[in-house]
Amino acid sequence: MISVPSAADMMSDKPPRRVLIVDDSRVLRAWLCAVLSSDPRLVIAGEAADAVAARDFLRGNPVDVITLDIEMPGMSGLEFLTRLMRARPTPVVMMSGLTSAGSDAAVQALSRGAVDCMVKPTGDYGDELTSDICDRVYHAACTRPARTKRPEAAVPVRTSAPAVFGAGGRICRRGSVFLIGASTGGVAALETVLPMLDPAGPPVVIVQHMPGNFLVSFSERLNRQLPQNVYLARENHILERGDIVLAPGDGQHTGIYRKNGGWMCRFLPNDPPALHCPSVDVLFMSAVSEAGNVTASLLTGLGRDGANGLLELSRAGARTIGQNEGTCVVYGMPRAAYAIGAVQRELPLDKIGPEMRDTRRRTARSLRPSGNART
């Protein structure tokens, strides 16, 4: 579990956050030093070329956040992260390549307690992306990870095959659908919420801000962990009961629509270009015309993607849920939604899955309080 400081703590006038850069590439260390040093909220506390050097540095030098390479000689970044979270919990931003192995390791790292994961640069970054990197490292430094008492359990292996696409007889014709948006901290959050849903319940469509290769690895991981059928969205694919669908990171947005009594996915162009693609707002807005059948949840994440879409869903009759500040890795997206009155129920992470599951048995009137409600 990860807790975060209050809004007042994050906005108070504090010294710059101390960063330790761990990477076996001297070039990448120099690049990160230059980028992060340009932000007055951050200061470089030190550099390390491998996990052993990082461990030795941490023994005598407190830091607020670590940027950590996944693929290093000797002790890997993933092994170092696991040991670190047991012995000296520290916010970590993983640096990963876009290889299949790198993506798998990145998703494991996010599940094991890393706050965020960024793709290693392959070319020049513009000012906007440089600012995004600094923001993500800074906000990671503002979190307070809790000690991990034991290693991550092995991912269970499915004992039965997932449902076959188009097998028939499982189309969700009652109309209910669950929508979820998440960003920073979303991997661990989703791995908490999704197991609490009914395996034969309404289909779930998710936008998780993450590079495309990471989403492939994440969907495969979830498909091994859960009894539901988990896969990346496909154009005009009919959603069936128990399906969990992730929007792919392929430069298009994912939306949903009703046809012949069922829900289907469709891809939408990123025009004009949005800050996030896929976008939570685009997914939420695509379902406004059928809002009475929708339960939408906005989980941990930096920024405000999803806030406006959640508001429009709420106004149109959907049930809307936001993750509370105390259980968010970054209380950004849910905060923005709560501030504009889009959140009908604000709940701790471990209460969101049961709330979504139980809304199938409630009417919109019985669920919706007067204004925002926090639990």
What HEC string does the chain produce? CEECCCHHHHHCCCCCEEEEEECCCHHHHHHHHHHHHCCCCEEEEEEECCHHHHHHHHHHCCCCEEEEECCCCCCCHHHHHHHHHHHCCCCEEEEECCCHHHHHHHHHHHHHCCCEEEECCCCCCCHHHHHHHHHHHHHHHCCEECCCCCCCCCCCCCCCCCCCCCCCCCECCCCCEEEEEECCCHHHHHHHHHHHCCCCCCCEEEEECCCHHHHHHHHHHHHHHCCCEEEECCCCCECECCEEEECCCCCEEEEEEEECCEEEEEEEECCCCCCCCCCHHHHHHHCHHHHHHEEEEECCECCCCCHHHHHHHHHHCCEEEEECHHHCCCECHHHHHHHCCCCCEEECHHHHHHHHHHHHHCCHHHHCCCCCCEC
**Cβ 137 vs Cβ 93: under 8 Å:** yes
Residues forming the active site: 183, 209, 305
